[in-house]
Structure 1
Amino acid sequence: MSNRVLIGHGTENDFVVLPDPDGVLWPESRLDAAMVARLCERRAGLGGDGVLRVVRSVHVPDAPAVLGDDLARCEWFMDHRNADGSLAEMCGNGIRLFLHVLVTEGLLDRSACTDGVWVGTRGGPRRVGAGADGVYWVDMGPAREFGSGSAELAGRRFDGLAVSMGNPHLACLTDADLDALDLATPPRFDAALFPEGVNVELITVLRAASEGADAHIRLRVHERGVGETRSCGTGACAAAYAALVAGGTSAGTVVVDVPGGRLTVDVGPDTTVLRGPAVVVAAGELTPEWLAG
């Protein structure tokens, strides 16, 4: 078994990446919840918001169930786990990094990715592509509103829209000072509305419209199974949708500033497209000493 690992991020939403094209280097028995948590631990491990295993779909046991008839067109599967070891459905920052790794590892030619390639996720198939400017884009699917709810943080209530991007979000627009909020403690939420947990976005509108965009917003997010992250791709999409709805529409382009950088979201009636960078920071080997610990 190879102990080779990569570290990368998309707008500072960072991941430990495990190249495993043929599904033999990091099988399910090796990549259990305890191993994921150790890899993601920021002092005793490598550090990351999650783990991405780069593997062909045919080697993922649950891929047929989550992809159905789309299994054949998804050669690659983003096997994504949160920092606590739980399985994750979808991550917009992670899937851009996933494609970047496929390209930099020589598993796909960048020129073949211009129009997008299909990647399997536990949230369903996603089409992701590489722009000539080094920016990656991903078709995130439609933003699906499924009600309204609230989150409680430090005794303060934040009302928001429940939005599914393949995973659940509570997108809360607020005039609170985002910098003053403590997101170290998980927000309280309605477990009946979100039985599998929820990512909570706290959003301020900077401008109702800006040059080339219909809105410009700022975002902080607490991700289930992780905590506060520097960026969240699905969260940016949910936040963009909520900001547009608050402005009286459900379609448009939104610039989203997150602590780790800037993303752009195009929200349409049938789908949502997320654009942003992806970077591999380092590559190396896990040592026998650490693995034996």
Structure 2
Amino acid sequence: MNSQTGPRVLLGHGTENDFVVLPDPDGDVWPDSRLDAAMVRRLCDRRAGLGGDGVLRVVRSVHVPDAPEVLGETLDRCEWFMDHRNADGSHAEMCGNGIRLFLHVLVTEGLLDRSACEAGVLVGTRGGPRRVGATPDGAYWVDMGPTRPFGEGEARLSGRAFAGLAVSMGNPHLACLTEVDVDSLDLSAAPSFDAALFPEGVNVEVINVVEPGEHIRLRVFERGVGETRSCGTGACAAAYAGLVADGRTSGTVIVDVPGGRLSVRVDEGTTVLTGPAVIVSTGALCAEWLAG
């Protein structure tokens, strides 16, 4: 390896929700003092950096300062922690696409055996522990926890108001079903929303029903990022909203996002998201860029 080459880095995505992945098993390459908000923004910059919707640091939970607080009594059962940052440098609680990619990286890096993951392994996140596993056909599933509706709200975008269901998936969502073709909407600017209902911001989904209670399509504006090609927690919130609109609170929903297709199974006590995860490239950061 060139002596001027720095830390290893991977690029990957889940249904085109893409991430810069930083392998740091022992927590000594990317401590918080190095992986600050400015560094995250540089890494995610699509022109001057590597480009991504966020950063995933692959690290053991014992090396994450706030892991005991967010994981509680499950800390000892979560060897690995998905240290997830949004593209603007802020911490993110949970990402369904990201955690599938996270497990894929653990497998491809030789840190976990894929066959042993089929039953699922617990991974720590700032949204709490999540069980994630591999499927025999090469995809990955994640138990996203229960959907938690907490009211109704309204988002304004493209000069229109869209009523929606407020849903927590460990992070806040406003899932707006509409008959307006979602492809016709302008999501280049952040939608406005009720700050009293969402004091920490919100991910906004605009949703078309393809088949009631069975199949939806959506676009999403993620807080701290902008419009993304996919959002795993957003797919779960949207699937739940679609089921509620059909008079149900459980079922399996196909969710089409700009980046591909996901499957969401909503049960009384939990929500399971299934979809692909892909590593695009691996390499190392150059000293020249790190010094910039």
Q: TM-score, normalised by structure 1?
A: 0.97
Q: Structure 1 residue runs of 4+, over 6 Å off?
A: none
* In structure 2, C-alpha distance between the alignment counterparts of 1:267 and 1:2, rounded to whole Å: 43
| Aligned equivalent of 1:161, options 165, 174, 178 | 165
CA displacement 1:76-128 (0-9 Å, x = unmatched): 00000000000000000000000000000000000110100000000000000
CA displacement 1:19-56 (0-9 Å, x = unmatched): 00000010100000000000000011000000000000
* In structure 2, C-alpha distance between the alignment counterparts of 1:64 and 1:151, rounded to whole Å: 35
Residues 1:279 and 2:249 aligned together: no
* In structure 2, C-alpha distance between the alignment counterparts of 1:124 and 1:239, rounded to whole Å: 21
* In structure 2, C-alpha distance between the alignment counterparts of 1:154 and 1:139, rounded to whole Å: 34
Shift of 1:203: 0.2
Residues 1:191 and 2:195 aligned together: yes
Report what 2:269 is aligned to: 270
Q: What secondary structure does 1:189 align onto?
A: coil
CA displacement 1:2-34 (0-9 Å, x = unmatched): 511000000000000000000001010000000
* In structure 2, C-alpha distance between the alignment counterparts of 1:121 and 1:71, rounded to whole Å: 10
| Letter paired with 1:190 | D
Residues 133-282 of structure 1: matches in 2 within 5 Å? 133-208=137-212, 214-282=213-281
Residues 18-97 of structure 1: matches in 2 within 5 Å? 18-97=22-101
CA displacement 1:185-226 (0-9 Å, x = unmatched): 000000000000000000000112xxxxx4100010000000
| Letter paired with 2:17 | N
Kindly indicate whether the alpha-carbon contact (under 8 Å) linking 1:203 and 1:219 is maintained by their aligned counterparts in 2: yes
Report what 1:211 is aligned to: none
Aligned-CA RMSD value: 0.8
* In structure 2, C-alpha distance between the alignment counterparts of 1:33 and 1:12, rounded to whole Å: 23
* In structure 1, C-alpha distance between the alignment counterparts of 2:95 and 2:188, rounded to whole Å: 21
Kindly indicate whether the alpha-carbon contact (under 8 Å) linking 1:134 and 1:277 is maintained by their aligned counterparts in 2: yes
Kindly indicate whether the alpha-carbon contact (under 8 Å) linking 1:250 and 1:268 is maintained by their aligned counterparts in 2: yes
Q: TM-score, normalised by structure 2?
A: 0.98
Q: What secondary structure does 2:235 align onto?
A: helix
* In structure 2, C-alpha distance between the alignment counterparts of 1:180 and 1:292, rounded to whole Å: 43
Shift of 1:154: 2.3
Kindly indicate whether the alpha-carbon contact (under 8 Å) linking 1:2 and 1:25 is maintained by their aligned counterparts in 2: no
Identity across aligned pairs (percent)?
Answer: 78
| Letter paired with 1:145 | P
| Letter paired with 1:144 | R
Kindly indicate whether the alpha-carbon contact (under 8 Å) linking 1:83 and 1:225 is maintained by their aligned counterparts in 2: yes
Q: What secondary structure does 2:85 align onto?
A: strand
Q: What secondary structure does 1:286 align onto?
A: strand
* In structure 2, C-alpha distance between the alignment counterparts of 1:55 and 1:48, rounded to whole Å: 19
Q: What secondary structure does 2:187 align onto?
A: coil
Q: Which runs of 5+ in 1 are unaligned?
A: 209-213
* In structure 1, C-alpha distance between the alignment counterparts of 2:90 and 2:162, rounded to whole Å: 26
Shift of 1:247: 0.3
Q: What secondary structure does 2:31 align onto?
A: coil
* In structure 2, C-alpha distance between the alignment counterparts of 1:105 and 1:38, rounded to whole Å: 25
Report what 1:4 is aligned to: 8
Give the number of equivalent residue pairs.
288
Q: What secondary structure does 1:250 align onto?
A: coil
Report what 1:125 is aligned to: 129
Q: What secondary structure does 1:86 align onto?
A: coil
Q: What secondary structure does 1:93 align onto?
A: helix
Kindly indicate whether the alpha-carbon contact (under 8 Å) linking 1:102 and 1:108 is maintained by their aligned counterparts in 2: yes
* In structure 2, C-alpha distance between the alignment counterparts of 1:289 and 1:67, rounded to whole Å: 38
Q: What secondary structure does 2:261 align onto?
A: strand
Q: Which runs of 5+ in 2 are unaligned?
A: none
